[in-house]
Amino acid sequence: MARAVRFGVNVLPQGDASVVLDEWRAASLAAGQQPDDRRVGIIRSVLVTDDPERDWPPLRQAERYRVAVYAKLGEEAGPDSAGNLTGKERIPQRPIIGDVATCVEELTSFILDNGFTDVVSWGSAPGILPHSITPNLLRYTREVVPQVRARVEAARA
């Protein structure tokens, strides 16, 4: 995260929150920067469904593939990488799965607890045709996102 501070850039943290977020914020302040002036983004999948047993299994394999790709990137970065993807305190990136209320609650808490400004979710998953999850995506954009925005804005006001 030292490079992010040195170049004054936005961050996409992966790994242990105390390393990739807390230390970045402290180093930014020490360098005379305001971390709140930066964007802090994350990728996290959200599946809005009233029937997880039906809708999750086809996506599970795609998520396992994605996890394997990230694991390989973590191995290639080396054990001393600040973005180490192991450990108890790592930023959770498992998919959020549930009905609208569950997704709103979990996503809002996730954003506020970590100070994220941006969350990227998937439009589809590897090997899944987008039309097969369109109903879930529509519920996400129409029902979850507006509530999360309102709650985050109210909490930060």
- The answer as to whether 145 is a domain residue is yes
In total, how many domains does the chain have?
1
- The answer as to whether 27 is a domain residue is no
Phi then psi for residue 10, to 5 deg, are: -70, 165
pLDDT at 11 over 80: yes
- The answer as to whether 117 is a domain residue is yes
In sequence order, what are the beta bridge partners of 97? 47
Return the CA Rg of the chain.
17
Domain enclosing residue 116, as ranges? 42-156
Q: What is the pTM of this model?
A: 0.86
pLDDT, one tens digit per residue, over 31-79 is 999 999 999 999 999 999 999 999 999 888 888 888 788 778 777 876 6
pLDDT at 136 over 60: yes
- The answer as to whether 148 is a domain residue is yes
- The answer as to whether 9 is a domain residue is no
Distant-in-sequence contacts of 21-26, Cβ < 8 A, 24+ apart: 21/91, 21/114, 21/115, 23/82, 25/115
The DSSP result for 93-108, as a single string, is -SPEEE-HHHHHHHHH
Q: Are strands 41-43 and 118-120 parallel, antiparallel or unpaired?
A: parallel
Q: How many other CB atoms are there within 10 angstroms of residue 59's CB atom?
A: 23
